[in-house]
Structure 1
Amino acid sequence: MGTSTAYGGPGGGTPLIPSWLGDPETGSEPDVDQNGPPAPDLVNPPTPPDKPPISKAADPQRFSGARSNFTRFAVSGGNDRASLGRAVSRYVSTSSGGARQAAQRMGASRGAGARLLGFLADANARGMREALLELNLGSMAGRPISEVFVALADHICPGAGTVDEGIAREAYIETIIDLAGEGLADLDAFTSEQMDTVFELYATHAIEARICNDIGTKVVTMPSNARVAHQVEKQLRDFIRGAVSDALIRTQESAPNMAQNHVLTFVDSVYESAFSILQSLGDAEADQ
C-alpha cells in the first residue's frame, strides 16, 4: 500500500503462475536456422506438432477469502487481528497455491532483490566506493545514502513497464524512503547488519505490494480516516517484516557463505521461507 500500484486485482481465471513470469535473470531465444527454412516435403509432410498444454485455469474465487478477511481487518481499524491472520494465510495457501508458488509470483522483485543484495554484498566486501565504481557510479561515492540508492535505481530495477516491474520499483522507492528512519547514513563503513536491514526492507515492501496488488486494493474497503488507514497499513507491513526477518535469519543459517552466482537462489529461499512463516503466523493469529 502506501504508494502501491493499485489495480482491481488479477482475474480469478488467471493461472497461479502466469506464463510470462519466468526467471528474471535468464532468457532463451528460439533456435534459428541461419540458412533459412528447408524446402517443404510435399510427399511426406511433417506431422503437426502437439499443441502446447493450456494452463489449467485457477479457481475463480481463490482471492475472495483473502479480500473479504482483509476488508474486515481494515474496517476494524486494525483491531481485528484474526481477520488479518486469515487474510494473509489464505493469500498464501489458497490464492497463491502455497509458499513456493507465492515466491515464484514475486517475478521481477526476485531479480531486483538479487541485484540489490549482490550490490550490498559487494559493498560490504570491498567497500562502497569500489562497488559503485563497478557500476560506473564512482562519482556517487561519499554522497548521502538516499542519493546513492536513487542513482542505483535503474541498475536494481531496470524496467517499469508492467505491473510486475512496477511492484519491484515501487518496493525499491519505498526502501529508499525508509533508509533514514533506520539510521543508515554512513556508507563508508557498510556493515553486514546494514546490508541485512536494507534487503529486509526491500523484501518486506515487495511482498506487501505483491499481496495488495493481487488482492486488489480497489475492491478492499479502507477506513476513510487517514490516521486509521495508516495504522492498518503499518500493521500489515510490520506483520510481513517480522516474517521476512525470521526468513532471512533462517536462510543465512542454511547458507552462511553466499556466493555471488547463487544470490538469486538465496533470494528465492528468503521469499519462500517468508511466505511459509506468514502462513503459520496468520493461522496462529486466526486461532486466537
Structure 2
Amino acid sequence: MGTSQSSKGPGSGVPMVPSWADAPPLEAADGDDPSTAEGNDRDGDEDDQQAPSPIAPERRWLGVRRSLGNYGKTGDRGAMQRGVGRYVRDGYGGTRTAARRMAGTASTAGALGNALDILAGARTPDSRSAIDPALLGGRSADDIMDAVVEAVRPVDGTQDAEASREAIKDALTEMLTRFPDADLVGLSPEQREFAIERFVAHDVFRRFDLDVGQSIRENAPNATAGLARLRQARDYIKETVSAAFRSLREAGKNIISGRISAVVREALKETFEVFQGYAE
C-alpha cells in the first residue's frame, strides 16, 4: 500500500502542474478521433493546457495536513473527506487544475484501453504497437500484465510513471479478482471497461498518497492503523471515481474505443468536484 516516496507534498512557489505532467489533452494515445469528442469539453481542456500553470501559494497543504492528520489519529471519515476536499481545493487550486495535473492519467487510460483492445482482437495493432497477442497467447497472467505495463507506461524516471505502472497492475489484478474466469488475451468489453475505471481510481489514489499520504501515516496510532486508514481513503476515492463513470454512462458517455481519454477527463473533473464539495 502506497510508497516509501510519499512526502508532505510539493512545495510552494512552483507550478501546481509540472511541465512534464501538463500533457496535451488531445494526444491520441488511444486513437482518439477529435471529430467524435465533445467540442465544448475539448475546447475547455485546450484552454487549460495553453494557460500557464498556477503557482502554488504558501502553506498550500496546511489545511490538508490538519484534516488528514486528524483522520490518521481518529479514523473519522468526515476528517478524511475534508482532507481530500482540501487536497483538491487548496493543494491544487480547485477542480480544473487538479484535473489538469492528472492529464497523464487520462492519456495512460487511453493507452491501456488500446492495449486491451488489441489483446482482445477488438483493434488491429499498428506498426507502433508494443503488444502482440500472438506472442502473449499461453503466457501466465503475470507475464501478460507485465507486458501491458511496459507497453502502456514505460519507465521514464518520474514518480507519475512509477505510480501509473503500479496502478495498471493493481487494476488488472482487481479485474481478475472480480472476473475470475477472465482471459487477459480475450477480455470482454465489460471487463476492459472495469480495468480502465479501476486504473483511474488507483492512479488518483497513488498521486494523493505520494503528495499527502504521509500525514495519515505519521499521525496513526500504529502502522497497522495507518495502513487501514490509507485503505479506507483508497476505497473512498474508488467509490467516487466509480460513481463519476456511472453518471457519465447514464448520460450516454461510455468508455469506447476512440473516446477513452475524453471520457476519463470528464470523470476526473466530476470526481474532483465531489471531493471539493467536502472542503469546508
| TM > 0.5 | yes
Q: Which whole-Å CA distance do the structure 1 matches of 2:55 and 2:10 have between them? A: 13
Aligned to 1:199: 196
Residues 200 and 241 in structure 2, CA contact (< 8 A), matched pair in contact too: yes
**What's the CA shift for 1:66?**
1.0
Residues 163 and 206 in structure 2, CA contact (< 8 A), matched pair in contact too: yes
Residues 5 and 166 in structure 1, CA contact (< 8 A), matched pair in contact too: no
Paired amino acid for 1:64: L
Match of 2:242 among 238, 241, 245: 245
Match of 1:217 among 208, 214, 225: 214
Aligned to 2:9: 9
TM-score (norm 2): 0.77
Aligned to 1:18: 18
Aligned to 1:233: 230
Match of 1:178 among 174, 181, 185: 174
Aligned to 1:75: 73
Deviates more, 1:243-252 or 1:138-147: 138-147
Which digits, 9 at most, give the CA deviation of each residue in 1:38-75, with x for residues without a partner? xxxxxxxxxxxxxxx98653221121111121111012
Looking at CA atoms only, which structure, 1 or 2, has the larger radius of gyration? 1
Aligned to 2:141: 145
Residues 226 and 131 of structure 1, relative CA distance in 2, 3 Å threshold: farther
Paired amino acid for 1:114: G
Residues 7 and 214 in structure 2, CA contact (< 8 A), matched pair in contact too: yes
**What's the CA shift for 1:208?**
0.8
Q: Does 1:110 align with 2:103?
A: no
**What's the CA shift for 1:4?**
6.1
**What's the CA shift for 1:132?**
11
Structure 1 unmatched runs, 5+: 28-52
Residues 117 and 189 of structure 1, relative CA distance in 2, 3 Å threshold: closer
What secondary structure sits across from 1:221 in the alignment?
helix
Which digits, 9 at most, give the CA deviation of each residue in 1:243-268, with x for residues without a partner? 11111112233344656443221221
Residues 198 and 222 of structure 1, relative CA distance in 2, 3 Å threshold: farther
Q: Does 1:97 align with 2:93?
A: yes
What secondary structure sits across from 2:218 in the alignment?
coil
**What's the CA shift for 1:121?**
4.4
Residues 22 and 107 in structure 1, CA contact (< 8 A), matched pair in contact too: yes
Match of 2:165 among 166, 169, 172: 169
Residues 183 and 261 of structure 1, relative CA distance in 2, 3 Å threshold: closer
TM-score (norm 1): 0.75
Residues 213 and 124 of structure 1, relative CA distance in 2, 3 Å threshold: same
Q: Which whole-Å CA distance do the structure 2 matches of 1:275 and 1:64 have between them? A: 19
Residues 179 and 262 of structure 1, relative CA distance in 2, 3 Å threshold: closer
Q: Which whole-Å CA distance do the structure 1 matches of 2:233 and 2:186 have between them? A: 32
Q: Which whole-Å CA distance do the structure 1 matches of 2:53 and 2:191 have between them? A: 42
What secondary structure sits across from 1:126 in the alignment?
coil
**Count of residue pairs the alignment pairs up:** 254
Residues 70 and 84 in structure 1, CA contact (< 8 A), matched pair in contact too: yes
Give aligned-pair identity as a percent: 26
Paired amino acid for 1:273: E
Paired amino acid for 1:63: W
Which digits, 9 at most, give the CA deviation of each residue in 1:90-132, with x for residues without a partner? 11122112222111111432321111123334556728xx779
Structure 2 unmatched runs, 5+: 29-50
Residues 107 and 164 in structure 1, CA contact (< 8 A), matched pair in contact too: no
RMSD: 3.2
